[in-house]
């Protein structure tokens, strides 16, 4: 990102110098469909983010210019109606959600730009909310803790952008640390940093650019299956509050009480918890081969047991296997989006070339390629 250019654009528009902040997008290494089952997710912040030049303007008006959309928007802090432009609703929402919590924002001027691919599953929206929540907190000395900043971002999505997301994306964007992933329990918000320094490997995402309409109703059905399996187990084991608390033995005790579909869904969730724990042990030892095996395990589970993969994702996963990629799996809720791949550097170029060629032959377009490095979370980068 050309920060000098961002600063120059700000000065040209607002006639003054602004402070610079950034907040990143994220990946999730492992732990999918675990958040609503009381399990773990395992995200890390990436080296792609939103960059904002910002200055308090002493009024009650926000004046914002989006470089990437070449679009300007102005709104009053006390206005009821959200802005027309979708991108501006994220800023509006952050201001409103801060205000609701008793942290009155004040007017500001901003010019911002980003390099997180939009809608690819790397959470450009969380980067956008987080950079403004973080910057306002800093500039106004509000002392809001990072969890609350994450909730401000999450509520922004819920209340102003129509996305009922969990907390992982905002959490990762705010708490990220270079060279570390974070194991987070989204229910209790307990988390721990784990070293992630895969020397000799690259992390690369391949974007199928597929979005299946089915995703939200299928998601609700998966949740119902999990709740049903969990209720049957909990009847015998009152300690089990969430499906992630259960073991395979417990699931097998209720095998005859639930249908095969619910059984398979639960089998995936319980397996995924084990894989996350295995990855934790492996990361402590720097054993990326085991990490990779677990990633393939997750893909298999999501494809065959949880049934949230799709043809394009399975195709890319098969190519990864053929090319000797260490670990590969669908990232995100499924039914489209990206695969995340952990790959030895020497195999990188041939893998990308093969994946592009074969995918294009089969589906008529190239997958997009995003190489990522695990980096720091929200921060100030210039006075
Ligand atoms: P993602 O998976 O990337 O979070 P979303 O649909 O949730 O996808 O969020 C994408 C939206 O966030 C965009 O449509 C836009 O409104 C906003 N956004 C993301 N990045 C930028 C950017 N660089 N500039 C302006 N708005 C952005
Ligand atoms: Mg988003």
What mean pLDDT, rounded, does the chain reach? 97
> Does residue 56 register a pLDDT over 80?
yes
What is the C-alpha to C-alpha distance for residues 123 and 128, in angstroms, rounded to an integer? 9
When pLDDT is averaged across residues 208-227 and rounded to a whole number, the result is 88
pLDDT at 216: 80
pLDDT at 57: 98
In tens, the pLDDT along 101-133 reads: 999 999 999 999 999 999 899 999 999 999 999
More confident: 214 or 310: 310
In order of 182, 286, 329, 343, 371, the CA distances from 201 in angstroms are: 19, 12, 16, 5, 11
In order of 17, 126, 174, 175, the CA distances from 168 in angstroms are: 33, 9, 10, 10
What is the C-alpha to C-alpha distance for residues 315 and 321, in angstroms, rounded to an integer? 10
> Does residue 214 register a pLDDT over 80?
no
When pLDDT is averaged across residues 369-380 and rounded to a whole number, the result is 98
Does ligand 1 come within 6 angstroms of the Cβ of 66?
Answer: yes
**Highest mean pLDDT (candidates 77-81, 91-95, 215-219):** 91-95
Pick one of 3.40.1170.60, 3.30.230.10, 3.30.200.190, 3.40.190.10 as the CATH number of 3-196+375-380: 3.30.230.10
Burial class of residue 145 (count of CB atoms within 10 Å of its CB; 0-12, 13-18, 19+)? exposed
> Does residue 212 register a pLDDT over 90?
no
pLDDT at 217: 87
Q: Tokens for 108?
A: 């500001």
Q: How far is the CA of 287 from the centre of ligand 2 (A)?
A: 31
What is the C-alpha to C-alpha distance for residues 305 and 270, in angstroms, rounded to an integer? 11
The pTM assigned to this predicted structure is 0.96
Catalogue the active-site residues: 169
> Does residue 292 register a pLDDT over 90?
yes
Pick one of 1.10.10.10, 2.40.50.140, 3.40.50.150, 3.30.70.890 as the CATH number of 201-371: 3.30.70.890
pLDDT band at 215 (very low <50, low <70, confident <90, very high): confident
Concatenated DSSP letters of 147-192: HHHHHHHHHHHHHHS-----SHHHHHHHH-BTTEEEEEETTT--EE
- Name the 3-class secondary structure at 23: strand
When pLDDT is averaged across residues 32-51 and rounded to a whole number, the result is 97
If one residue of 125, 132, 216, 368 were mutated to test the ligand 1 pocket, choosing by the most ligand atoms within 8 A of its CB, it would be: 125
pLDDT at 302: 98
Domain coordinates in residue numbering, the chain: 3-196+375-380, 201-371
Q: Which ligand 1 atom is at minimum distance from the Cα of 113? A: 23
Q: How far is the CA of 255 from the centre of ligand 1 (A)?
A: 43
Largest CA distance in the chain: 71
In tens, the pLDDT along 330-359 reads: 999 899 999 999 999 999 999 999 999 999
> Does residue 137 register a pLDDT over 90?
yes
Does ligand 1 come within 6 angstroms of the Cβ of 118?
Answer: yes
């Amino acid at each position: 990102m050309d920060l000098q250019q961002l600063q120059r654009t700000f000065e040209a528009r607002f006639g003054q110098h602004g402070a610079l902040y950034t907040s990143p997008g994220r990946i999730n290494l492992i732990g999918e469909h675990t958040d609503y089952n009381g399990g773990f997710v395992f995200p890390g912040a990436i080296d792609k983010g939103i960059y904002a030049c910002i200055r308090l303007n002493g009024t009650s008006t926000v004046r914002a210019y989006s470089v990437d959309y070449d679009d300007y928007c102005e709104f009053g802090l006390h206005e009821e109606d959200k802005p027309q432009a979708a991108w501006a609703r994220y800023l509006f929402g952050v201001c409103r959600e801060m205000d609701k919590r008793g942290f009155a924002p004040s007017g500001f001027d901003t010019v911002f730009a980003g390099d997180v691919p939009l809608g690819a599953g790397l959470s450009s929206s969380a980067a956008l909310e987080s950079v403004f929540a973080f910057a306002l907190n800093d500039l106004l000395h509000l002392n809001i803790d990072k969890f609350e900043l994450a909730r401000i971002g999450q509520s922004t999505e819920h209340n102003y952008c129509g996305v009922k997301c969990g907390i992982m994306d905002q959490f990762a964007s705010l708490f990220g640390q270079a060279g570390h992933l974070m194991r987070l329990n989204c229910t209790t918000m307990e988390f721990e940093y784990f070293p992630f320094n895969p020397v000799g490997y690259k992390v690369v995402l391949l974007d199928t650019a597929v979005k299946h309409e089915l995703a939200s109703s299928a998601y609700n059905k998966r949740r119902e299956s999990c709740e049903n399996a969990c209720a049957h187990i909990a009847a015998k084991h009152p300690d089990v509050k969430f499906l992630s608390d259960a073991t395979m033995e417990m699931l097998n005790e209720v095998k005859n009480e639930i249908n095969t579909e619910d059984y398979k869904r639960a089998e995936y969730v319980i397996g995924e918890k084990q894989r996350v724990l295995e990855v934790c042990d492996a990361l402590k030892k720097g054993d990326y081969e085991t990490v990779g095996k677990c990633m393939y395990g997750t893909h298999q589970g999501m494809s065959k047991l949880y049934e949230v993969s799709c043809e394009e994702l399975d195709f890319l996963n098969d190519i990864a296997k053929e090319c000797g990629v260490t670990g590969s799996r669908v990232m995100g809720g499924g039914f489209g989006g990206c695969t995340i791949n952990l790959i030895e550097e020497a195999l990188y170029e041939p893998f990308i070339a093969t994946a592009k060629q074969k995918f294009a032959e089969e589906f008529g377009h190239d997958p997009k390629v995003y190489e990522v490095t695990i980096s720091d979370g929200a921060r100030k980068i210039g006075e």
